[in-house]
């Protein structure tokens, strides 16, 4: 039985803070997204079909060697990024229904080690990124192997945040409504898509409000026995401007696209996934490559 989970922002897809005095060098405050785009990997819009308590452990390494301007051109600034994240997701599936849908809630705790090097200035930052809670997630069964999910992720304004340096977390809360679709035939096609809005609140420490954005993450592949080979990908489009002290910062909206292969093995009691996403396009941010390993296991299942 495949047991997969709804994503909520697990780790920082961090870039850098100030780029040697370059104005409008990055989108989102401090270059840190309130949701790490591409972190979901294989676990797009997938939920366990039985009541119980489940865990998903994800290890990811994000790397980048360039920053890109508003036209998607690489900036002439020496830049390197390396970030390792270990994220624990705990998902509760309740033995009840709401509006004809199965009911879930989720807690996500990410630990991140971030290393940035900008024009010879190197920094390291280790800590807890924004803890995310999903108070309500609903899953409707539309047909055999086909589900629709809707919910709300709340990335809390906590974690290891420092307004004076690159950080693994943001200093503000982000509300993230999600709507996803998954068709997963255990002997055939597996395809999923999850849509996410980033509704960011103002940072009270800096009076900076990061713009709102849209994130799409997707997976597609073919199941053959316990194995599945496929692809995973992600897309980000920031559709409103950042603001500082109420003033709009124009021409500073983040955009990105990444795509890569995935391999999954379903052992019954647990499942393992391996994926790699290569950054293909980026604007006002770094172009990130993400290598990820995931392990999904049941902690308790209602008999």
What average pLDDT does this structure show over 208-220? 97
Q: What is the DSSP string of 95-155?
A: EEEETTEEEEEEEEEEEEEEEEEETTEEEEEEEE---EEEEEEEEEEEETTEEEEEEEEEE
Domains present along the chain, CATH in parentheses:
29-301 (2.40.160.40)
Task: Classify the C-alpha dihedral 100-301-41-202 as positive or negative.
Answer: positive
pLDDT of residue 20: 35
Query: Of all residues in the chain, what percent carry a pLDDT higher than 90?
Result: 79
The 10s digit of each residue's pLDDT in 220-246 is 999 999 999 999 999 999 999 999 999
What is the model's pLDDT at position 25? 47
- pLDDT band at residue 16, thresholds of 50, 70 and 90? very low
* Other C-beta atoms lying within 10 Å of the C-beta of residue 45: 29
pLDDT, one tens digit per residue, over 34-49 is: 999 999 999 999 999 9
Instruction: Look at residue 2 in the predicted model and tell me its pLDDT.
Output: 35
Average pLDDT, the chain: 90
**pLDDT-based confidence at residue 21 (cuts at 50, 70, 90):** very low
Residues in the chain: 303
φ, ψ at 245 (rounded to 5°): 55, 35
Output the CA angle 151-156-69, nearest 5 degrees: 90
pLDDT of residue 22: 37
- Please give the share of the chain, as a percent, with pLDDT higher than 70: 91
Strand ranges inside the chain, DSSP E: 52-64, 67-68, 79-98, 101-118, 121-128, 132-143, 146-155, 174-184, 189-200, 208-209, 213-224, 227-238, 242-244, 247-249, 255-266, 271-283, 285-286, 289-301
Each residue's pLDDT tens digit, 158-185: 888 888 877 888 989 999 999 999 999 9
What the block records as the tokens of 224 is 């053959």
- pLDDT tens column, 130-149: 999 999 999 999 999 999 99
Give the pLDDT confidence score for residue 226 in this predicted structure.
Answer: 96
The number of CA neighbours under 13 Å toward the Cβ of 16 is 33
Confidence of residue 26 (pLDDT cuts 50, 70, 90): low
Query: Can you tell me whether residue 31 is helix, strand or coil?
Result: helix
Per-residue pLDDT band at 303 (split at 50, 70, 90):
confident
């Amino acid at each position: 039985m495949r047991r997969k989970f709804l994503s909520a922002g697990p780790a920082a897809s961090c870039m850098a803070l100030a780029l040697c005095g370059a104005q409008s060098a990055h989108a989102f405050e401090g270059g840190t997204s309130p949701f790490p785009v591409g972190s979901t990997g294989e676990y797009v819009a997938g939920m366990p079909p039985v009541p119980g308590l489940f865990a998903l452990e994800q290890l990811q390494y994000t790397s980048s060697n360039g920053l890109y301007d508003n036209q998607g051109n690489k900036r002439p600034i020496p830049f390197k990024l390396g970030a390792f994240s270990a994220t624990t997701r705990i998902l509760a599936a309740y033995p009840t229904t709401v509006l004809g849908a199965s009911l879930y809630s989720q807690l996500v705790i990410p630990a991140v080690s971030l290393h940035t090097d900008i024009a010879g200035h190197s920094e390291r930052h280790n800590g807890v990124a924004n803890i995310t809670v999903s108070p309500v997630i609903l899953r409707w069964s539309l047909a055999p192997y086909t589900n629709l999910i809707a919910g709300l992720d709340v990335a809390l304004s906590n974690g290891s945040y420092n307004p004076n340096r690159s950080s693994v977390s943001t200093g503000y809360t982000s509300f993230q409504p999600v709507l996803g679709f998954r068709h997963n035939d255990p002997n055939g096609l597996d395809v999923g898509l999850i849509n996410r809005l980033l509704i960011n609140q103002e940072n009270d420490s800096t009076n900076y409000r990061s713009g709102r954005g849209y994130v799409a993450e997707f997976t597609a592949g073919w199941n053959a026995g316990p194995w599945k080979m496929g692809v995973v990908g992600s897309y980000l489009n920031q559709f409103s401007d950042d603001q500082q002290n109420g003033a709009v910062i124009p021409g500073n909206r983040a955009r990105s696209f990444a795509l890569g292969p995935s391999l999954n093995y379903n052992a019954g009691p647990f499942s393992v996934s391996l994926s790699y996403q290569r950054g293909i396009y980026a604007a006002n941010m770094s172009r990130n490559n993400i290598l990820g390993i995931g392990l999904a296991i049941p902690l308790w299942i209602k008999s």
